[in-house]
Structure 1
Amino acid sequence: MSLKTELTSADLSEIRQSALGAADPLGIAAELADAADDGYLADPEDAGYALALAAEIAESRSKLDAALKYVDRAVEAYGKRDDSQAAAAHALRARILFRAGRADEAMAELEPLRSLLTQHTDAAAYLSAALAVGGRTRVAEEWLTEAVQTTLADREKGQTAEPASADDAGLLFFLLQQRHRVRHALGLQHDAHDNLAERLETKLANTTAAAAEPGDDLLFWPQAEFDKLLAQWPDLAEAYGKSWDEHRAHLERELVRLAGAGRVGLTVLPGSVAGLDKFAGDPAETKTRAGYARQLATGPGQISWPPERNAACWCGSGNKYKKCCLPRSR
């Protein structure tokens, strides 16, 4: 796999998902480092991200010297940035140090990040993961418990009741969730915080299940049908796009979003103007189009998503997915 000469943030995210399955992941790690060195990144601010990714790849192949070299450069590239990406790079460095048998240095790297548990939603995950590698799962439980108690105390000061949902809980949900997992790994009995974590996870699962019903956002209008659709109902351009390219881009982005939210078995629902016209209700109304989508979801003709990168694109253009709709999500 040879990386292209200019990498975007989206490209780096795609590499993160595919690099470990490549024939030469260590070669990709070296190319990522070269891209950061030689200015082959679309945004120079992504240098830390590229180098941290190279470190993860090297770590996964137990090349700890190379991994440490890459992650040191990643930390240097992030400089004084105090965002979550920079903090995650420090946690990655600690993880590699643990693997290299340098536990004291690893803990010194993690201690300053402890306060981030009440600031960054993903801090609970990367800190507990690093501590687990170092055999400090009990420490992770202590840090997470303290962060949960601090966050709950802040809610009580504002006289806020128990969170009604994961969204309402915000950062607290991620702390409770990660603490619950860590305590399960330690074999500890449930306490009140574990019970709250389970209640919120159940509410989230119920909400996700309710949202899983297909809506009109997964209706796909093949090019000829799209032209007919806008000719008959011009106002639907607001829902589906003013052009077929815009329509396909909207669908691809929505499918990527749903996949990122954990949805599996995603399919595109090809519609027809005749079918929508026959369906009971006013096509201008969202509920009518959503009902039509649910009808299509129970019948044949659905298009599985995503196709393989080199397979024909789902939109029927005849082009390869990687050259057609895949880039539209970016």
Structure 2
Amino acid sequence: MAKSSQPVLKRMLLFGACLLATMQLLAQSPTIAQVDFARADSVARLYHGYSLANLNDLSHKLTHPFTNDLEKFRAIYRWVCNNIDNDFDYFERNQAKRKKLLNDADALDDWNRKFAPQVFKRLLQQHSTVCTGYAYLIRELAYHADIESVIVDGYGRNAEANIGGPGVPNHSWNAVQLSGQWYLCDATWSSGTIDTQQGLFIKQFREAYFLTPPELFVRNHYPLDTRWLLMEAQPSLTSYLNGPLVYNDGIGQEILPVAPATFNVAATRKVPITFRFSAPIQPEELTLQIVQGSHVLDLSPKVTPEADGLYNITHTFPARGTYALHVRNSGDYLFTYEVRIAK
């Protein structure tokens, strides 16, 4: 009997409501990056704008050309990223409400129950949603393809959220089981970015959040249920919230800060500070962007290799003040520190 999409109405987008089966959580295979997904991506493009009225039908169309779950899931994932927009108005409304009700669990649950049907309706009619809608759609399309996926709720981190402090649960993504192994992905962040200054969603597919290795994914995602870190050595929520800010291209290029370990760095003027990072190969176009107020200084630092894929750069601040130090490669922002020079 064909699976009906109707029962999903009863499994609405309830924040934190996904059930976790007892299972072994395994880390990702390093061979994912070597797979050619051109055919799966092509199939996803064939059904551009397809209706969400029958999720079973859409899932079948996307997956029936393939014999393995990896390509099936890729076709589902690319279709969602290509066809669903991040709704800025709903995003702002949901973020503000979650922050306001952070310390009132009952009120927060009530908000999520009331907000979920609105999100589902907008997703169905306008192909527009927020993170819970993306995660819901990934889970349901995977379900109709006999692929197990769950919604993971937790803390997403960017330049405007979860920089220090106690943290605010503000984001949802997915874990998916393929060939007995669990992987992490975030269709919301893969689909594009929100320009909060202009109030616009900019659609641009980002490979960085598709089946991302856990040690990279945790740089800007932290689950409420730490089993979904998929890591044996688990970082604490506190270290996550207080670490350097890592951007999409830092994840995508696998160029990540190692030391200092905190976003806020205290230093002394005219005394060099060393920043250590890891990278698969030595970056050829690494730059530092130093920002203080409206003053922006772009520099080309000397990159010094160390052992085991580690590199360091050094900078000296000549005057007191608070600075944003952005590390970039080929013009892309990788990670950021805030440096305070008090002496």
Query: Is TM > 0.5 for Structure 1 vs Structure 2?
Result: no
Query: Which structure has the larger Rg?
Result: 1
Shorter-normalised TM-score: what interval?
under 0.3
Higher relative contact order (CA 8 A, sep 6+): 2
Greater share of strand: 2
| Greater fraction helix | 1
